[in-house]
Amino acid sequence: MKKLARFCPKLVSERVNKLPDYDVLLDAREVLCPIPLLKTKQALKKLASGQVLKVLATDPATEKDLRILLVLTQDELVSFEMHQNEFCFLIRKK
């Protein structure tokens, strides 16, 4: 990132400024369903209203599972990104 900042400081600052903040990180990479779903549910229960949970996962089933969970809990999916085989969710507790 530092090398990129030296050549493209505006690009790096724009990317950094656009990244949403989060309060708690849940690393559920390299574990399979239903573990990412269960750990996300547990982590959300511990958050206060308005706090943001960042979930990292590699199991493709996690995307569908978490979207269904959020419909049931009415928590907000702030953002979802997929890079190669890694999923990143930002979830705001209602």
Residue 85 lies in a domain: yes
Q: How far apart are CA 41 and CA 47, in angstroms?
A: 10
Mean residue pLDDT across the chain = 85
Q: How far apart are CA 90 and CA 10, in angstroms?
A: 25
Percent of the chain at pLDDT > 70 equals 79
Provide mean pLDDT across the span 63-82: 96
Out of 12, 24, 31, 33, which one is annotated catalytic?
A: 33
Told to judge if 33 belongs to the known catalytic residues of this protein, a careful annotator would answer: yes
Tens of pLDDT, residue by residue over 16-48, are: 445 568 999 999 999 999 999 999 999 999 999
Q: How far apart are CA 4 and CA 75, in angstroms?
A: 35
Per the structure, the complete domain to which residue 73 belongs is given by 23-92
Residue 49 lies in a domain: yes
Residue 31 lies in a domain: yes
Residue 27 lies in a domain: yes
What is this structure's pTM? Answer: 0.78
Q: What is the CATH number of the domain that holds 71?
A: 3.30.110.40
pLDDT at 4: 38
26 beta partners:
55
Residue 16 lies in a domain: no
Q: How many domains does the chain contain in total?
A: 1
